[in-house]
Amino acid sequence: MIEIRAYKMGNDKVFLVTGGTAHIGATATACVASDGKVCVDAISLPGHRERELAEELAAMAAAKLGCAVAVLMGIHMEKPSKQEIAEVVEETRGKMRRMLEQCVAEADIQ
């Protein structure tokens, strides 16, 4: 159900995370500060619940890649149960981890 696409933006990365009917529900940006801490900022549109996951994915990406990242996310589920939400969250985390490994491998080749 979840699709993640990555795009280079100079030295940075943009990730589009969608599932169901594609839309923008939340955006998060993250970077690694000079003290090594990951800084994250996010916004979400009214009625959308993707913000926390967008923040988590942005922080994960910035820490792994060492660059500024943006995550634009919209996952639409029609009246999901708590179990269905948990499954989609885990699927999304797993797909992001695999995407980040791919990004690192591609950077090593260049």
The radius of gyration of the chain's CA atoms, rounded to the nearest angstrom, is 14
Q: 7-31: per-residue pLDDT in tens?
A: 999 999 999 999 988 899 999 999 9
Distance CA 74, CA 92 (A): 11
% residues pLDDT > 90 (the chain)? 91
Q: Where are the domains of the chain?
A: 2-109
**110 pLDDT exceeds 70?**
no
Distance CA 51, CA 110 (A): 33
Considering the four listed CATH numbers 3.30.230, 1.10.3470, 3.30.70, 3.40.50, the one that applies to the domain covering 2-109 is 3.30.230
The residues, ordered by sequence, that sit 6+ positions from 89 with a Cβ below 8 Å of its Cβ are 53
Burial 51-84 (b: 16+ CB within 10 A, else e): bebbbbbbbbbbbbbebbbbbbbbbeeeeeeeee
Q: 65-109: per-residue pLDDT in tens?
A: 999 999 999 999 999 999 999 999 999 999 999 999 999 998 765
Q: What one-letter code names the amino acid at 33?
A: A
pTM for the model: 0.94
